């Protein structure tokens, strides 16, 4: 029991890293998605093709494989590009991998939400004299996020759980801390149950927050 | 006047430490007693103390990073680390991709099995190889043990694990019939598993299976001759003045410094 | 990018293909088999049936598959009682553990989808069955469930792709399917791109073939609505409790 208590702070440290990775990946994934949606809607044919290929490929590959590719391949690529080693710590690499994956799914969520907006909205904005950029920023984007909220919440939960995969390449997040503790104490069941419990806890809290946000932020539905 | 004195002392101190070269060391701390993490999360073990001593002797300021074993050499090549000190065996295959320092240790290997298992009765290498046909052997991904198992125990079911503790746990559970690791690591892993495991067959060295390599050394990226020369000198000094022997006895109970 | 390593990668990844397909197909079948009773339990009238199953699906959907896999593989093996029991010969094999963990996890998600499908059926269907005097079993088997499955068929096709992707986790417990074989090869050659690209292409190809197979099945079943373009690549499953496809 005392041994389990000794490792508990480690698990909580890992939980913090998990949240960092998930938040970072979600944020950057969202940025990628917004850019991709912009490209898919307003870009020329090659841009549209790039976005479509990116989304199709990522959604067809196992997340673990993409993480392996970004982890083991990314540093090689970066170093070759810059000539010298570019310092990329495990956290950054983990965030890069996961945001690359989530960006594809977020693109589809945002695109679906975008197409739910009645076309009259854009037409009304144009008739009021708003340019494309202003229309996108003040009329389309807020509505897009409102419709996308359930999908975004769903993707956040997925990213939280996917972050456990980054433990396989050594990032010291919650799952990894659990594996180390289990190995050192030969009590895998105890620690993996605690780790599972912690994940369920953060997904539950997330779902509660999203339910609250959904009620407060969505309109007109 | 006093301020000037304090300022110059401070300048001298910081100048002194500014002269220390920062080095990044990569290790996989899942290999007790060579490298493991204590309850505070710090990397400790034989490699840690040997590495810190070498850093002291060459005047470097070392920072240790713990990561998966099979990614260590790739990270070294890409420039993430300056040195890899992780019970790494010097093999011809690896030497094609990285440079090795002089060997600092020479660890024998052993097959381990569950206590009272059929393998435990084997005495010679031939008996061992015969007994391992069709059995499941656990080894760590990317290790020399994996290479040896794949070359010499070809008809066995070779299972790849990420961490050595997982091999020991699966062995104790009876999922695999044998595991191949350094004898020193088995002694440590077996201690924690109170008599569930025992060593099987004879002690194995690179004289038996060349793929084990020739002693354990420190890996460097190819082309760093200056650093390699300084590290080599430190290792040679540490072997001859018995430092490595002393650290070795502290962790293994015996001296396994390289005497080749 | 070394073409020599690229060519060497192909047999390595191909060797893992058999295990990938075994884990995927067995896990999918197990998941579908378990999902039906679980889905029915979720819509049962008795809370004694609903609550335990709802908790079970909540826990499985709220934690990563990797933890569940480790609990099954390393956690259970810890106990002497388990190792002496009848299930040990089954969970002793890493492939079985992967199949069971993936199957249980998939079943939890599909159960919620089935429950959602049942709830969305027009209540008139069930009422008509009762007025016709059909037994509860017949009501389910002959009227309600066929409609539910027709409606959720795209989700089930999606689930097959998701299980294919989940099979890559089997490498975490020594099963040398495609992702594990690729990673082991990287450790030897320090050349990550070639082998992961080969593995990636193979996953995309298999997913594509699964998609074609499912579209064929969909067309053969009367009453399944035509699927739009966006339905092809894998969709993520709804995670929040209460949300269904």
Cβ of residue A209 closer than 8 Å to a chain C Cβ: no
Which of A13, A170, A172 is opposite residue B71, by nearest beta carbon?
A: A170
**DSSP reduced 3-state for C233:** coil
Mean pLDDT for the stretch of residues A191-217:
90
Is residue A104 predicted with pLDDT exceeding 60?
A: yes
Nearest residue in B to A89, CA atom? B80
Is residue C125 predicted with pLDDT exceeding 50?
A: yes
Mean pLDDT for the stretch of residues A122-149:
83
Is residue C185 predicted with pLDDT exceeding 50?
A: yes
Mean pLDDT for the stretch of residues B112-124:
85
Residue with tokens 């197990």: C30
Tell me whether the omega of the peptide bond preceding residue B33 falls within 30 degrees of 0, making it cis: yes
Q: Which chains touch B (3 or more CB pairs under 8 A)?
A: A, C
Burial of C133 (0-12, 13-18, 19+ CB in 10 A): exposed
pLDDT of residue C136: 83
Strand segments, DSSP code E, in chain A are: none
Residues facing residue B114 across a β-bridge: B197
Is residue C1 predicted with pLDDT exceeding 60?
A: yes
Is residue C190 predicted with pLDDT exceeding 80?
A: no
In which band, very low, low, confident or very high, does the pLDDT at C243 lie, cut at 50, 70 and 90?
A: very low
pLDDT of residue C138: 84
Tell me if C61 sits within 8 A of C108, measured CB to CB: yes
- From chain B, the residues in CB contact with A192 under 8 A are none
Relative orientation angle of helices C192-220 and C145-166, to the nearest 10 degrees: 170
Tell me if B131 sits within 8 A of B163, measured CB to CB: no
Residue partners of C185: CB distance under 8 A and separation at least 6: C8, C9, C12, C13, C195
In which band, very low, low, confident or very high, does the pLDDT at B39 lie, cut at 50, 70 and 90?
A: confident
pTM recorded for the entire structure? 0.85
Is residue A79 predicted with pLDDT exceeding 70?
A: no
Candidates B88, B21, B53, B82; CA nearest to B239 is: B53
- From chain A, the residues in CB contact with B97 under 8 A are none
Q: How far apart are CA B109 and CA B120, in angstroms?
A: 15
Q: How far apart are CA C13 and CA C176, in angstroms?
A: 9
Rounded to the nearest angstrom, the gap between the alpha carbon of residue B220 and the centroid of all alpha carbons in its chain is: 15
Is residue C228 predicted with pLDDT exceeding 60?
A: no
Tell me if A105 sits within 8 A of A34, measured CB to CB: no
The minimum CA-CA distance between C188 and chain B, rounded to whole Å, is: 6
Q: How far apart are CA B113 and CA B120, in angstroms?
A: 7
Q: How far apart are CA A147 and CA A144, in angstroms?
A: 5
- Based on its alpha-carbon atoms, the radius of gyration of chain A, rounded to whole angstroms, reads 20
Domain total of chain A: 1
**DSSP reduced 3-state for B45:** coil
| Lowest model confidence (mean pLDDT) among A43-57, A90-104, C223-237 | C223-237
What is chain C's mean pLDDT, rounded?
A: 87
Cβ of residue A65 closer than 8 Å to a chain C Cβ: yes
Which residues 58-87 in chain B show a CB within 8 A of chain C? 70-71, 73-74, 77
Strand segments, DSSP code E, in chain B are: 21-27, 36-37, 43-44, 60-66, 83-84, 99-100, 109-114, 136-140, 157-161, 178-182, 197-204, 219-220
Q: How far apart are CA A180 and CA B166, in angstroms?
A: 10
Instruction: Give me the phi and psi of B251, to 5 degrees please.
Output: -100, -35
Contact A183 B169 (CB under 8 A): yes
CATH of B2-106+215-252, one of 3.90.79.10, 3.30.420.40, 3.40.190.10, 3.90.1150.10: 3.40.190.10
Candidates B253, B215, B205, B259; CA nearest to B236 is: B259
Higher-confidence residue: A128 or C205? C205
The architecture in CATH of the region B109-212 reads 3-Layer(aba) Sandwich (3.40)
Rounded to the nearest angstrom, the gap between the alpha carbon of residue B76 and the centroid of all alpha carbons in its chain is: 15
Domains with residue ranges and CATH for chain C: 19-177+225-231 (1.10.3720.10)
pLDDT of residue B61: 92
Residue A193 structure tokens? 């149950």
CATH topology match: B2-106+215-252 vs B109-212: yes
Is residue C230 predicted with pLDDT exceeding 70?
A: no
Q: Which chains touch C (3 or more CB pairs under 8 A)?
A: A, B
Q: How far apart are CA B90 and CA B220, in angstroms?
A: 12
Q: What is the domain range of residue A65?
A: 2-217
| Lowest model confidence (mean pLDDT) among A129-143, A187-201, C161-175, C219-233 | C219-233
Which of A61, A68, A150 is opposite residue C204, by nearest beta carbon?
A: A61
Higher-confidence residue: A55 or B77? A55
Higher-confidence residue: A76 or B83? B83
Is residue B20 predicted with pLDDT exceeding 70?
A: yes
Share above pLDDT 90 across residues of chain C, in percent, rounded to a whole number: 51
pLDDT of residue C240: 62
Is residue B83 predicted with pLDDT exceeding 50?
A: yes
Cβ of residue B157 closer than 8 Å to a chain C Cβ: no
pLDDT of residue B252: 85
Mean pLDDT for the stretch of residues B10-27:
68
Tell me if B62 sits within 8 A of B122, measured CB to CB: no
Mean pLDDT for the stretch of residues C82-91:
90
Nearest residue in A to C179, CA atom? A65
Domain residues of chain B, as ranges? 2-106+215-252, 109-212
Contact B79 A90 (CB under 8 A): no
pLDDT of residue A83: 64
pLDDT of residue B70: 80
Contact C92 B174 (CB under 8 A): yes
pLDDT of residue C242: 45
pLDDT of residue C223: 64
Q: How far apart are CA B49 and CA B248, in angstroms?
A: 10
Candidates C108, C71, C63; CA nearest to C91 is: C71
Q: How far apart are CA C1 and CA C6, in angstroms?
A: 8
CA angle at B98 for the pair B72 and B94, rounded to the nearest 5°: 80
pLDDT of residue B16: 46
pLDDT of residue C133: 87
Mean pLDDT for the stretch of residues B187-208:
85
Mean pLDDT for the stretch of residues B170-190:
90
Tell me if C125 sits within 8 A of C144, measured CB to CB: yes
The distance in angstroms from the start CA to the end CA of chain C is 42
Residue C96 structure tokens? 């079985």
Residue with tokens 């499908």: C117
Residue C234 structure tokens? 């894998």
- When mean pLDDT is compared over A74-83, A135-144, B1-10, C164-173, the highest value belongs to C164-173
Mean pLDDT for the stretch of residues B11-28:
70
- From chain C, the residues in CB contact with B141 under 8 A are 183-184, 187
Mean pLDDT for the stretch of residues B233-248:
91
**DSSP reduced 3-state for B106:** coil
Mean pLDDT for the stretch of residues C99-120:
93
The minimum CA-CA distance between C64 and chain A, rounded to whole Å, is: 5
Burial of B259 (0-12, 13-18, 19+ CB in 10 A): exposed
Cβ of residue B175 closer than 8 Å to a chain C Cβ: yes
pLDDT of residue C245: 37
Cβ of residue B163 closer than 8 Å to a chain A Cβ: yes
Is residue B13 predicted with pLDDT exceeding 80?
A: no
pLDDT of residue C98: 97
Query: Cβ–Cβ contacts within 10 Å for residue C218, how many?
Result: 18
**DSSP reduced 3-state for B28:** coil
Tell me if C182 sits within 8 A of A68, measured CB to CB: yes
Residue A173 structure tokens? 């997040």
Residue B226 structure tokens? 């200056």
Exposure string (b/e) for C172-182, b if CB count within 10 Å is 16 or more?
Answer: bbbbbbbbbbb
């Amino acid at each position: 029991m005392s041994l389990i208590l000794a490792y508990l702070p480690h698990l909580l440290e890992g939980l913090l890293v998990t949240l960092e990775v998930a938040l970072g990946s979600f944020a950057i994934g969202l940025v990628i998605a917004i850019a991709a949606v912009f490209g898919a809607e307003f870009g020329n044919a090659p841009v549209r093709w790039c976005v479509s290929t990116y989304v199709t490929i990522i959604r067809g590959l196992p997340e673990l494989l993409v993480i392996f590719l970004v982890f083991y391949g990314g540093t090689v690529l970066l170093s070759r590009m810059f000539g010298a080693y570019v310092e990329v710590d495990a956290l950054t690499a983990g965030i890069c991998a996961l945001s690359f994956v989530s960006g594809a799914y977020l693109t589809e969520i945002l695109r679906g939400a975008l197409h739910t907006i009645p076309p009259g909205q854009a037409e009304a904005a144009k008739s009021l004299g708003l340019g494309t950029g202003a229309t996108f920023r003040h009329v389309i984007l807020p509505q897009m996020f409102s419709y996308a909220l359930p999908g975004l919440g769903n993707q956040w939960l997925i990213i939280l759980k996917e972050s456990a995969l980054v433990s396989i390449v050594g990032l010291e997040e919650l799952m990894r801390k659990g594996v180390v503790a289990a190995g050192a104490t030969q009590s895998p069941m105890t620690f993996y149950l605690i780790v599972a419990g912690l994940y369920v806890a953060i997904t539950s809290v997330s779902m509660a927050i999203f339910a609250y946000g959904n009620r407060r932020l969505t309109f007109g539905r | 006047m006093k301020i000037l004195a304090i300022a110059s002392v401070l300048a001298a101190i910081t100048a002194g430490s500014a002269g220390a070269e920062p080095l990044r060391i990569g290790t996989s701390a899942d290999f007790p007693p060579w490298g493991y993490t204590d309850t505070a999360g710090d990397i400790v073990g034989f490699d840690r103390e040997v590495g810190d001593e070498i850093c002291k002797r060459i005047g470097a300021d070392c920072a240790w990073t713990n990561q998966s074993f099979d990614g260590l050499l790739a990270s070294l090549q890409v420039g993430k680390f300056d040195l890899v000190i992780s019970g790494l065996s010097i093999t011809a295959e690896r030497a094609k991709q990285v440079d090795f320092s002089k060997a600092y240790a020479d660890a024998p290997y052993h097959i381990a099995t569950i206590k009272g298992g059929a393998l435990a009765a084997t005495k010679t290498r031939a008996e061992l190889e015969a007994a391992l046909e069709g059995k499941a052997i656990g080894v760590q991904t990317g290790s020399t043990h994996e290479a040896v198992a794949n070359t010499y125990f070809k008809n066995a079911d070779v299972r790849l694990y990420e961490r050595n503790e997982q091999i020991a746990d699966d062995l104790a559970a009876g999922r695999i019939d044998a595991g191949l690791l350094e004898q020193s690591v088995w002694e440590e892993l077996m201690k924690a598993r109170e008599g569930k495991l025992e060593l099987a067959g004879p002690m194995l060295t690179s004289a038996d299976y060349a793929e084990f390599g020739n002693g354990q050394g420190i890996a460097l990226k190819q082309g760093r001759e200056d650093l390699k020369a300084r590290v080599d000198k430190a290792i040679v000094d540490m072997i001859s003045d018995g430092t490595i022997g002393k650290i070795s006895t502290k962790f293994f109970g015996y001296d396994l410094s390289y005497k080749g | 990018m070394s073409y020599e390593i690229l060519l060497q990668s192909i047999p390595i990844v191909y060797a893992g293909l058999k295990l990938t397909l075994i884990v995927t197909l067995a896990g999918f079948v197990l998941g579908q088999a378990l999902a039906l009773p679980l889905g029915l339990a979720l819509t049962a009238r008795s809370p004694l049936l609903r609550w335990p199953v709802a908790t079970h699906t909540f826990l499985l959907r709220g934690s990563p598959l990797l933890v569940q896999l480790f609990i099954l593989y390393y956690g259970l093996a810890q106990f002497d009682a388990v190792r002496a029991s009848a299930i040990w010969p089954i969970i002793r094999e890493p492939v079985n553990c992967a199949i069971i963990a993936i199957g249980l996890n998939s079943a939890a998600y599909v159960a919620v989808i089935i429950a959602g499908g049942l709830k969305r059926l027009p209540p008139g269907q069930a009422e008509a069955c009762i007025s016709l005097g059909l037994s509860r079993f017949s009501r389910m088997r002959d009227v309600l469930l066929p409609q539910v499955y027709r409606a959720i068929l795209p989700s089930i096709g999606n689930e097959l792709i998701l299980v294919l992707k989940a099979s890559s986790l089997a490498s975490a417990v020594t099963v040398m399917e495609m992702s594990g074989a690729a990673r082991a090869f990287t450790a030897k050659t320090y050349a990550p791109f070639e082998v992961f690209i080969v593995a990636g292409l193979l996953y995309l190809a298999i997913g594509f073939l699964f998609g074609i197979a499912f579209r064929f099945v969909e067309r053969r079943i009367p009453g399944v609505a035509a699927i739009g373009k966006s339905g092809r690549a894998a969709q993520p499953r709804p995670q929040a409790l209460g949300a269904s496809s």
